[in-house]
Chains A and B, each alone.
Chain A
């Protein structure tokens, strides 16, 4: 088997990269180890509505709910509201990730991408040091897939990068360990995404309640892996649900575990290879959100691959255009928010309560982490000392 591009992983990053590479003329194969694209869902399922402008998804079946805003609860329950109506801008969707992922894969297939399921990449195919494709296993059958470019879109557990000599091993302080229920038989009184903070609630992370319609929600927890003990995420989530009047009578439709990188950006290109999505640690270290990055980065990667195929130049230098463009598009934001993550982790619960109290009646100009950070700096100029390196980065973005 010989392709221009072999992509390992049919999540959003892999499918979008494949689609844009194929549209640019490349012959693309995506291999996926699972038996169904998008299943199991490993996600809180929230995404910004800025994807509307990108036109990458057709129809509306992948939308579970359109959000009117977000509420953040500090450890003592003080509520900070970010309302779309007040801010005058749009917030986001809660999506059905299985349908969402399948819609992106459908778009890739429409562009001419081939997809193989139940197919695990076992190692890189190399000629001396040169990457020539991947070795793969489909049930009991082992075979080689030759390709000029290998794309590692193989998620948080990515090993493609390691095989190519890129150190992608996460430190426990750079991983959120998560689990989540889809709960039904609950009353989602409004279309707000709720976030609950506190060292006793979710150390180094948060609990989320994202409504999916009027009577169901994605309810989950992420805790910082360095603060975790065996099974702690599930215990804390179960404890929270059992004490929450809105959730305690809910019935689970689905239970899942997840893992989210909250790290600084890594190198993403080598000769004949690039990394994307969770495999490239392209996740906002504050929110743990990565879907928009997959879509934005996938388009950039696909376009860069198209140019490489056209010029038949697959060198790191050629592929570096992808790294330059994604770091400009959202890599700087990740770097800035990594610094904010470290500042937040140092804060005691009482500091978070104080900050929440000062923001409880604040009128936010934009519903985003940047909007929150701006408000904090405005309200607490003394915080500026700590945030000084951060604001320098903010000015650039």
Chain B
């Protein structure tokens, strides 16, 4: 089983862009007015999970 990768809850995300600005892999972008993770780029560092002000990003094992 791999490490958990970041996943954005589309129902919660308010598109502040914070997670995109800190992602060291440029794995996040704004898509359809919500943050979106390209999971092949995600290295499971969890920075985006910790910094989300409203808890809209969590880890999911694929």
Min Cβ gap B39→A in Å is 18
The answer, yes or no, to whether A172 is at the interface (CB within 8 Å) is yes
Select which of B16, B23, B50, B57 is within 8 A of A42 by beta carbon: B16
Which residues of chain A have C-beta atoms less than 8 A from B57's C-beta?
Answer: 230
Contact B55 A234 (CB under 8 A): yes
Min Cβ gap B12→A in Å is 9
Min Cβ gap B14→A in Å is 4
The answer, yes or no, to whether B26 is at the interface (CB within 8 Å) is yes
The answer, yes or no, to whether B49 is at the interface (CB within 8 Å) is yes
Contact B53 A179 (CB under 8 A): yes
Which residues of chain A have C-beta atoms less than 8 A from B58's C-beta?
Answer: 230
Residue from the set B14, B21, B24, B51 with the largest chain A CB neighbour count within 10 Å: B21
Min Cβ gap B18→A in Å is 3
Min Cβ gap A214→B in Å is 28
Which residues of chain A have C-beta atoms less than 8 A from B54's C-beta?
Answer: 179, 231, 233-234, 257
Min Cβ gap A238→B in Å is 11
Contact B17 A156 (CB under 8 A): yes
Min Cβ gap B46→A in Å is 9
Contact A169 B22 (CB under 8 A): yes
Q: How many A-B pairs fall under 8 Å by CB?
A: 98
Q: In the bound complex, how far is the Cα of B21 from the Cα of A159, in angstroms? A: 8
Contact B52 A177 (CB under 8 A): yes
Q: In the bound complex, how far is the Cα of B24 from the Cα of A81, in angstroms? A: 41
Which residues of chain A have C-beta atoms less than 8 A from B22's C-beta?
Answer: 169-172, 175, 225
The answer, yes or no, to whether A396 is at the interface (CB within 8 Å) is no
A155-B17 contact, Cβ under 8 Å, with A169-B24, A225-B51, A230-B50 = yes
**Binary contact readout A19-63 vs B (1 if CB under 8 angstroms, 0 otherwise):** 000000000000001100000101000000000000000000000
Contact B50 A228 (CB under 8 A): yes
A177-B18 contact, Cβ under 8 Å, with A225-B50, A228-B51, A230-B58 = yes
Q: In the bound complex, how far is the Cα of B5 from the Cα of A231, in angstroms? A: 18
A231-B52 contact, Cβ under 8 Å, with A34-B33, A178-B16 = yes
Interface size on A (CB < 8 Å)? 36
Please, which residue of chain B has its CB at the minimum distance from the CB of A157?
B17
Select which of B14, B18, B29 is within 8 A of A159 by beta carbon: B29
Q: Among residues 1 to 57 in chain B, which have CB atoms less than 8 Å away from a CB atom of chain A?
A: 14-18, 20-24, 26, 29-30, 33, 47, 49-55, 57
Select which of B15, B18, B26, B55 is within 8 A of A175 by beta carbon: B18
Which residues of chain A have C-beta atoms less than 8 A from B33's C-beta?
Answer: 33-34
Q: In the bound complex, how far is the Cα of B58 from the Cα of A221, in angstroms? A: 22
Contact B14 A256 (CB under 8 A): yes
Which residues of chain B have C-beta atoms less than 8 A from A171's C-beta?
Answer: 22
A230-B55 contact, Cβ under 8 Å, with A120-B30, A157-B30, A169-B23 = yes
Contact B20 A177 (CB under 8 A): no
Please, which residue of chain B has its CB at the minimum distance from the CB of A42?
B16
Contact B52 A33 (CB under 8 A): no
Min Cβ gap A78→B in Å is 28
Residue from the set B14, B51, B57 with the largest chain A CB neighbour count within 10 Å: B51
Select which of A158, A232, A259 is within 8 A of B18 by beta carbon: A259
The answer, yes or no, to whether A261 is at the interface (CB within 8 Å) is yes
Q: In the bound complex, how far is the Cα of B52 from the Cα of A178, in angstroms? A: 9
Select which of A162, A229, A259 is within 8 A of B17 by beta carbon: A259
Q: Among residues 332 to 370 in chain A, which have CB atoms less than 8 Å away from a CB atom of chain B?
A: none
Min Cβ gap A255→B in Å is 8
Contact B21 A169 (CB under 8 A): yes
Q: In the bound complex, how far is the Cα of B45 from the Cα of A171, in angstroms? A: 13
19 examples of A-B residue contacts, CB within 8 angstroms? A42-B17, A156-B20, A157-B20, A168-B21, A170-B21, A171-B22, A175-B22, A177-B52, A178-B53, A223-B53, A225-B22, A228-B50, A230-B50, A234-B54, A258-B16, A258-B18, A259-B16, A259-B17, A259-B18
| Besides A157-B18, A225-B51, A230-B52, 14 new A-B residue pairs in contact (Cβ under 8 A), listed by A number | A156-B16, A156-B17, A157-B30, A158-B21, A159-B26, A159-B29, A169-B23, A170-B21, A175-B18, A223-B53, A229-B50, A230-B50, A232-B53, A257-B16
Please name the 5 residue pairs, one residue from A and one from B, whose CB atoms are nearest each other, closest first: A231-B55, A259-B18, A157-B17, A233-B53, A157-B20
